[in-house]
Structure 1
Amino acid sequence: MTANRPLILLTNDDGIHAEGIRYLTIAMEHVGEYWVVAPEAEQSAVGHSITLYDPIKAHEISKNGSFYGYGISGTPADSVKLAIHSLLPRVPDLVISGINNGANVGINVLYSGTVSAATEAAILGVPAMAVSLAQKKNPPFQWVVPHVERLALWLLKFGLPPGVALNVNIPAIPPEALRGYKLTRQRLAKMRESFEEREDPRGNRYYWLSGEVPIEESDDSLDATALNDGFVSITPLFYDLTAHSHLQDLATALKNLT
């Protein structure tokens, strides 16, 4: 490892063999020294879960005859914890999680393993960003590379406030068509959800979650709106879930508790 180059941890929730994280390594080639530590298997939508009652295994992964990184038997948050506390030679200067195929905006942020890896890094005191591309089928990851490189250099220069991570969503359009970068807030609209009921050959019922359609909001400060308008959406996240604006009202109501 070159002493004067920043150390960058790359992780994800799609697994160490996913194309998205391979494109992260391409984006980091001219930024710093990178280490890949990610789940061995897909861990999408696991949120911020961590492994408590089983050992976490770390397997060395090679590609084209060379060391590529560590595949972890746990979750995205486990990957960040283990990397920072045990695997990396020192605390990284930056953590990047992704590139997720499909946007992570609105309520999805709460379920996302991609985002949780970044917020875990923030909890541990390391600047971090989660990166998602707004296309699930045949995602053009190559279009994301220049944006990730630019944002990584910016983060390494300016840093982030303690405990804050960035949730970055990039539209699936060529870099030259991009309208710019926009600081956004998380959309809080609920999702319309349904469960499709099916029956297995033995007559047992089972269900698939389906039909997620967001309830639209018209506000260009929202993550989903900015993304749909052709901007890179950058939302600062903080792990304090306290509803501060309601503390006083609830304190007053609590006086009536008998």
Structure 2
Amino acid sequence: MRILIANDDGYLAPGLAALVKACEGLGQIDVIAPEQNASGTSNALTLSRPLSVFTAANGYRYVNGTPSDCVHVALTGLLDYRPDLVISGINNGANMGDDTLYSGTVAAATEGFLFGIPSIAFSQVEKGWVELEAAAQAARAIIEQVLAGGLGHAFLLNVNMPNRPDAATLPRRITRLGRRHASEAVIRQTNPRGETIYWIGPAGDAREAGEGTDFHATANGMVSITPLQVDLSDHAGMPAWRQRLGLPT
């Protein structure tokens, strides 16, 4: 078993170290992560400048780019083998609902999936790394279950774990993505030179968080496991658009 591990919080993040430790004994592990925190970078690839790869004292390799850069570079030239599994995390905070579109953690796993490799993204629901060891144990248990079922085809799983000491033994549920209200307003400030600057505002509250969603599962003390796909086509809306634009069916 050959496993590639990445994240979006950077190669020094406690969540990455915890996930790597949790995966010990499963096979060969390579860590290739961003040099700095790259949260919110989604699936961005760096095309405007060359990328550099460095090796840290602990053997992790890190890239001066995005999470997707890390996995892309690893799979297209840095590694001399094809991993059997790509894992991303453990993220410092939830990646649920609409947040998955922005998430660098999910993006790193998605890049593996786009290359046809089974991939899993792991996140803790609350920020602060509270009960991180328990989350790592939960991640290990899920990985072992996945491996027991075989890796016959590519899949993409998004896992969110409550910050609880019993995270490894909590019930697990297959969920769908919930939805959030629109993000709150930007925060306007003035820098020391008198120029107006803006900070992206906080994410909106959950607005679709009913039973079956990732929000509902984690709020009720369960680990949420959401199978994802990358096909954004509005299949249900296609007939209406053909009619509206006068196109053949």
5+ long unaligned stretches in structure 2:
none
1:189 CA drift (Å):
3.3
Residue 128 of structure 1 corresponds to 119
Q: Using structure 2 for the length normalisation, give the TM-score.
A: 0.93
CA distance in 2, matches of 1:150, 1:225: 22
- TM-align CA RMSD: 1.8
Runs of at least 4 residues off by over 6 Å = none
Is 1:216 aligned with 2:207? yes
CA distance 1:196–1:161, change in 2 (3 Å): farther
Contact 1:192 1:215 in 2 (8 A): no
Is 1:194 aligned with 2:194? no
Count of matched residue positions in the alignment of Structure 1 and Structure 2: 247
Contact 1:163 1:238 in 2 (8 A): no
Contact 2:87 2:121 in 1 (8 A): yes
CA distance 1:139–1:195, change in 2 (3 Å): same
Contact 2:15 2:129 in 1 (8 A): no
Residue 238 of structure 2 corresponds to 247
Q: 2:16 aligns with which of 21, 42, 45?
A: 21
Is 1:153 aligned with 2:144? yes
CA distance in 1, matches of 2:96, 2:13: 21
Is 1:38 aligned with 2:33? yes
Q: Secondary structure at the match of 1:107?
A: helix
1:135-185 Cα shifts (integer Å, max 9, x gaps): 212432101122111111222232568553000000011226854000000
Residue 204 of structure 1 corresponds to 195
1:49 CA drift (Å):
0.2
Residue 3 of structure 1 corresponds to none
1:192 CA drift (Å):
3.9
| Amino acid of the structure 1 residue aligned with 2:92 | N
Contact 1:129 1:167 in 2 (8 A): yes
1:121 CA drift (Å):
0.5
1:194-245 Cα shifts (integer Å, max 9, x gaps): 1122112332111222243314335110011111111110001111111111
CA distance in 2, matches of 1:16, 1:24: 12
5+ long unaligned stretches in structure 1:
1-5
Q: Using structure 1 for the length normalisation, give the TM-score.
A: 0.90
CA distance 1:7–1:220, change in 2 (3 Å): same
Q: Secondary structure at the match of 1:216?
A: strand
Q: Secondary structure at the match of 1:46?
A: coil
Q: Secondary structure at the match of 2:179?
A: coil
Q: 2:101 aligns with which of 93, 99, 110?
A: 110
Q: More strand by proportion, 1 or 2?
A: 1
Contact 1:130 1:166 in 2 (8 A): yes
CA distance 1:182–1:161, change in 2 (3 Å): farther
